[in-house]
């Protein structure tokens, strides 16, 4: 294969790798963006009936600072003892709520702290019943996925995208060198 042909092939591969790295970066960010979308909220004590469209892990958040109906509220991020959470599927089966604390989320005037996660095996309608001590009023929301898991996947995606971009750059440089480099002429003796 001639050097010019190799150069063209390397440039085409470089472009393909560059497009692939951008595409995989976009696909890697999408789950993280989805994890911020609230699937429902409830002012507790109360019940949240949420239609969950896919199987997976969901997170319950304590919205400790924000606004409801034009009224701002602010509480400590850590819940006082005595809160009770119960997650049920459509058949009334109680799902396990795994403690999940330490993650926080801020968006505008809203601040949230994670409370726990639960896993659903199938899409459907789920009820989250929240009891509070002494009828304290608090706001809770539900999102898809565990945020820390999503961030881990995003970091892996960034590493893969970076390697693909570096490989694309190297192939592009080699392709250009192959196109512009003229081979040395070897004198022919007669």
| pLDDT tens-digit map of 118-166 | 999 999 999 999 999 987 899 999 988 766 666 676 777 778 778 888 8
Output 115 or 3, whichever has higher pLDDT: 115
Model pLDDT, residue 147? 60
- The model carries a pTM of 0.65
Model pLDDT, residue 151? 65
| pLDDT tens-digit map of 66-76 | 887 788 889 99
The per-residue DSSP string of 34-84 comes to HHHSEEEEEEESEEEEEEE-SSEEEEEEEEEEEEETTEEEE--SSPPTT-E
Contact between 47 and 128 under an 8 Å Cβ cutoff? The reply is yes
Model pLDDT, residue 46? 92
Contact between 100 and 116 under an 8 Å Cβ cutoff? The reply is yes
| pLDDT tens-digit map of 25-43 | 777 666 666 656 778 889 8
Percent of the chain with pLDDT over 70: 86
Model pLDDT, residue 127? 95
Mean pLDDT of the chain: 83
Nearest alpha-carbon partner for 116 in 39, 62, 44:
62
Q: Taking 80 as the threshold, does the pLDDT of residue 16 lie above it?
A: yes
Q: Taking 90 as the threshold, does the pLDDT of residue 14 lie above it?
A: no
170 DSSP assignment: H
**What does the alpha-carbon distance between residue 100 and residue 111 come to, in Å, rounded to a whole number?**
16
Confidence band, pLDDT 50/70/90 cuts, at residue 60:
very high
Fold adopted by 37-147:
Jelly Rolls (2.60.120)
Residue 153, both tokens: 């996947």
Q: Taking 60 as the threshold, does the pLDDT of residue 187 lie above it?
A: yes
Which sign does the torsion angle of CA 37, 39, 40, 45 carry? Answer: negative
């Amino acid at each position: 294969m001639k050097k010019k042909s190799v150069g063209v092939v390397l440039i085409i591969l470089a472009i393909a790798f560059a497009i692939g790295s951008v595409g995989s970066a976009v696909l890697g960010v999408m789950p993280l963006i989805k994890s911020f979308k609230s699937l429902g909220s409830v002012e507790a004590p109360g019940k949240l009936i949420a239609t969950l469209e896919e199987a997976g892990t969901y997170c319950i958040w304590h919205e400790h600072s924000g606004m409801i109906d034009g009224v701002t509220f602010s509480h400590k991020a850590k819940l006082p003892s005595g809160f009770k959470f119960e997650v049920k599927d459509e058949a009334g089966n109680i799902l396990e709520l795994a403690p999940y604390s330490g993650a926080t989320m801020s968006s505008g005037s809203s601040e949230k702290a994670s409370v726990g996660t639960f896993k659903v095996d199938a899409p459907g309608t789920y009820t989250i019943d929240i009891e509070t001590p002494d009828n304290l009023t608090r706001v809770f929301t539900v999102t898809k996925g565990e945020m820390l898991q999503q961030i881990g996947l995003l970091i892996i995606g960034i590493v893969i995208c970076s390697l693909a971009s570096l490989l694309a750059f190297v192939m592009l440089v080699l392709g250009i060198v192959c196109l512009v480099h003229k081979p040395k002429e070897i004198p022919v003796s007669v």
